[in-house]
Chain A
Amino acid sequence: MNATIARRKTRNRPWTYVVAIILFLFLAYNSVYIKKLDEVKAAGSAGTGKFDAATYAKTFWNTKLIPSAAGGAVDLSTLLSLLKTDKDKAFTTYSQALGIGNIRYFLVKGEGTVTAVSDNDVTLSLPSGETIRLATEYIFGNAARDASGLIKITEFDNTTDLNNVSAAINDIIRKDVIPPLKAAAKPGKKIAFVGAIELNRAHLHLDDIEVIPISAR
């Protein structure tokens, strides 16, 4: 009886080895993942990879920002006047930001006469006497995303998506707003605009206001 069992074990041993090797290879294959460093970097710190920032930005632009921009924006001359007389009230009433800290954003509107055109901006003189710049080259940062207050931080659970939304909105501005603005901007012409500005609540400077244009005509 014992001899029969021993023979059976001997006959089964090759199969045991084959199964063990297959099992080992299967485990080894599924235990090691090799990725390119570029792919790891591209994955970002916390991005989900599912969020489509360009689509989100386009929907936000068409259905929220543009329809409400003119109505929701504060007149820039009125804002500048209030900032000079009651800074805290101006920030409390009109500023927005998705994050916390001193950097705050305002959705503004106005009309002015073009006094200069450069590679980087269009300078406007407002009826109230102030001079401001409409940016045409450096369209970066979160001003256009945050100024309206229409995007809520609780919609996002990672900062990569938030950053990508800013970049996508800025791309829309570069593509849809800047070319006609540059084409129309000639010294002496009047331009009506809606845009976003960034101001530092703790270190306020009103002598060089730069507006990221959202619409201009």
Chain B
Amino acid sequence: MKKYCFWIIILLFLAGSCTNKTDSGQPKKVAVIVSTLNNPWFVVLAESAAAEAKSLGYEAKVFDSQNNPALEADHFENAIVSGFSAILLNPTDSDGSIVNVQKAKDAAVPVFCMDREVNSSKVATSQILSDNYSGCVAIGEEFVKDLNKKGNYVEILGMVGDNNTWNRSKGFHSVVDRYPGLKMVAQQSGDFDRNKAMDVLESILQAHPDINAVFCGNDAMAMGAYQALVAAGKAKDVGVYGFDGADDVMNSIRDKKIKATGLQSPQTMAKTAAQFADTYFKGKRDFAQRIPVAVELVTQKSIADYEPSAKP
């Protein structure tokens, strides 16, 4: 009889471990630690991750790191001490965040990175990242076709310390550099900032008034570049290319002001991260370290496929 009781208790424990609840009967908790909530793009990322975690039966709480790795470290400490079972992370710094992810790993808390990576393949359980490189390969191909393989162009880079900046630039150049008729007359950083990109292009136009196109590392800078071209009376002659799929650029493509962009999907990355946490709790361990999320090329031809967002 004692033997049967023992096995019944074991089976009860096993059954209990298959739920989304912790030992105290409460749902497992998932922390969403995001680099900043000052940018609407990251708000969508954080809210989508939290919503998906909740829909899967978990408690979810969003932490704002305010682009500060030290604050991110505090959030990690809190999440670990407060008994969060998984962390969905949008890191503040590809290198600086490694130590935080390592702390969670040491505490047996899985971390799933969203959109931005950490420069280590040993600490996060999995990293779900926009395929910046391939997205910019597609933009580069469109760029070459639009310019018929010849012309002068400017590249406005994002923040030089950001991996996404270089992945985008490398993808673009992997195509464009094969065509000797296309000459890059200037390459400068606009720090992913609309106003800075406008200033940068204004000064470049002083030295190189004869450009045919501008490739920008994100959509905010594409809008700034377009403004600079309008001010210089060149908006109709110079094609502008961005990256992100931001509403204002999608609308500008619709209005034939911007040539093309790469549409990222923060919702897909966020939902996938939450779903990965769910499957982790259910026992899966063989996650790919980095999973690319497709970026869709949006041009003046394909923009009809995408619903216009409600204008305020």
Mark A residues whose CB is within 8 Å of B. 41, 44-46, 97-103, 138, 140-142, 153-154, 156-159, 162-163, 166-167, 200, 202-203
B117 interface residue (CB < 8 Å to A): yes
**Assembly CA distance A166 to B174 (angstroms):** 11
User: Among the interface residues B134, B137, B166, which one has the most CB atoms of the partner chain A within 10 A?
Assistant: B134
Distance (Å) between the CB of A156 and the closest chain B CB?
7
Q: Which residue in chain B gives the minimum CB-CB distance to A163?
A: B133
- 20 A-B pairs within 8 Å (CB atoms) are namely A45-B94, A45-B163, A98-B292, A99-B291, A99-B294, A100-B291, A101-B131, A101-B293, A138-B145, A140-B141, A140-B174, A157-B289, A157-B290, A158-B121, A158-B289, A159-B129, A159-B167, A159-B290, A162-B290, A166-B134
B268 interface residue (CB < 8 Å to A): yes
B245 interface residue (CB < 8 Å to A): no
User: Among the interface residues A41, A46, A102, A202, which one has the most CB atoms of the partner chain B within 10 A?
Assistant: A46
B134 touches A163 (CB 8 A): yes
Residues on B with C-beta less than 8 A from A138 are: 141, 144-145
**Assembly CA distance A140 to B143 (angstroms):** 13
Residues on B with C-beta less than 8 A from A200 are: 296, 305
Known A99-B131, A141-B134, A158-B121; judge A44-B291 contact (CB<8 A).
Answer: no
Closest A-B pairs by Cβ, 5 of them: A101-B294, A99-B292, A103-B294, A45-B163, A203-B305
Residues on B with C-beta less than 8 A from A44 are: 166, 170
Q: Which residue in chain B gives the minimum CB-CB distance to A153?
A: B288
Per the 8 Å Cβ criterion, residues 172-214 of B in contact with A are 174-175
A162 touches B286 (CB 8 A): no
Partner of B296, one of A46, A103, A153, A163: A103
A101 touches B268 (CB 8 A): yes
Residues on B with C-beta less than 8 A from A45 are: 94, 117, 119, 163, 166-167
A102 touches B294 (CB 8 A): yes
- Chain B 140-169, CB-CB to A under 8 Å as 1, else 0, gives 110011000000000000000001001100
Partner of A156, one of B141, B290, B296: B290
In the complex, how many residue pairs between chain A and chain B have their CB atoms under 8 Å apart? 90
Q: Which residue in chain B gives the minimum CB-CB distance to A174?
A: B178
Q: Which residue in chain A gives the minimum CB-CB distance to B134?
A: A142
Partner of A159, one of B131, B141, B145, B306: B131
A102 touches B296 (CB 8 A): yes
Residues on A with C-beta less than 8 A from B218 are: none
B: contact size bracket = 35 or more
B294 touches A157 (CB 8 A): no
**Assembly CA distance A45 to B129 (angstroms):** 13
- Chain B 105-136, CB-CB to A under 8 Å as 1, else 0, gives 00000000000010101000000110101100
Q: Which residue in chain B gives the minimum CB-CB distance to A200?
A: B296
Residues on B with C-beta less than 8 A from A46 are: 117, 119, 121, 163, 290
Residues on A with C-beta less than 8 A from B288 are: 153-154, 156-157
B167 touches A167 (CB 8 A): no
B261 interface residue (CB < 8 Å to A): no
Distance (Å) between the CB of A54 and the closest chain B CB?
14
Residues on A with C-beta less than 8 A from B306 are: 203
A100 touches B290 (CB 8 A): no
Residues on B with C-beta less than 8 A from A140 are: 137-138, 140-141, 174-175
Distance (Å) between the CB of A103 and the closest chain B CB?
4
Distance (Å) between the CB of A31 and the closest chain B CB?
18
Q: Which residue in chain B gives the minimum CB-CB distance to A141?
A: B137
